[in-house]
């Protein structure tokens, strides 16, 4: 028994619960709930930390800005819930298409940023071009089950 009549197992459980809550709160502050990607502030913080490391090691990073094409029209014609599903799908697509050491972020609205570390510009261009092709090949469905495709631009 510890101070105030608390058993060791209870103390461990309380500390574990508190740590889990903090981790969950941090995740909520750093991640966009719709896409699961980093929010802008968390991205910038992580990017700056990695950039400082790259300066020391003389490494390189390539960055691309991505924008879903005609997203306003998707919202207007197919509805905001469908637009939300498009955003969520795109976030999952980015997360699954890039390496775990790369950073993906929802910059705002339908704009996203990716940072690929130790990748030259030509490689990054190929990564973005492949992603554009792969995402455009996906068939999404609106609220009525009707199929549609979405494309994005990046550079």
Catalytic residues: 110
3 state DSSP class of 120: coil
3 state DSSP class of 105: strand
Q: How far, in Å, CA of 91 to CA of 128, rounded?
A: 14
Q: Which two tokens stand for residue 146?
A: 């009707």
Q: Which two tokens stand for residue 68?
A: 């879903």
Q: Is the dihedral of CA 82, 150, 87, 94 positive or negative?
A: positive
């Amino acid at each position: 028994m510890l101070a105030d009549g608390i058993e060791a197992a209870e103390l461990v459980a309380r500390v574990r619960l508190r740590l889990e809550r903090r981790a969950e709160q941090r995740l909520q502050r750093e991640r966009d709930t719709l896409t699961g990607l980093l929010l802008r502030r968390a991205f910038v913080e992580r990017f700056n930390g990695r950039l400082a490391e790259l300066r020391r090691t003389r490494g390189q990073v390539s960055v691309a800005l991505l924008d879903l094409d005609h997203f306003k029209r998707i919202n207007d014609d197919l509805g905001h819930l469908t637009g939300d599903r498009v955003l969520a799908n795109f976030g999952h697509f980015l997360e699954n298409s890039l390496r775990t050491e790369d950073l993906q972020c929802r910059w705002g609205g339908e704009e996203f940023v990716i940072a690929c570390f130790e990748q030259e510009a030509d490689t990054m261009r190929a990564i973005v071009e492949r992603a554009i092709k792969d995402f455009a090949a996906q068939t999404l469905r609106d609220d009525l089950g009707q199929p549609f495709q979405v494309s994005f631009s990046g550079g």
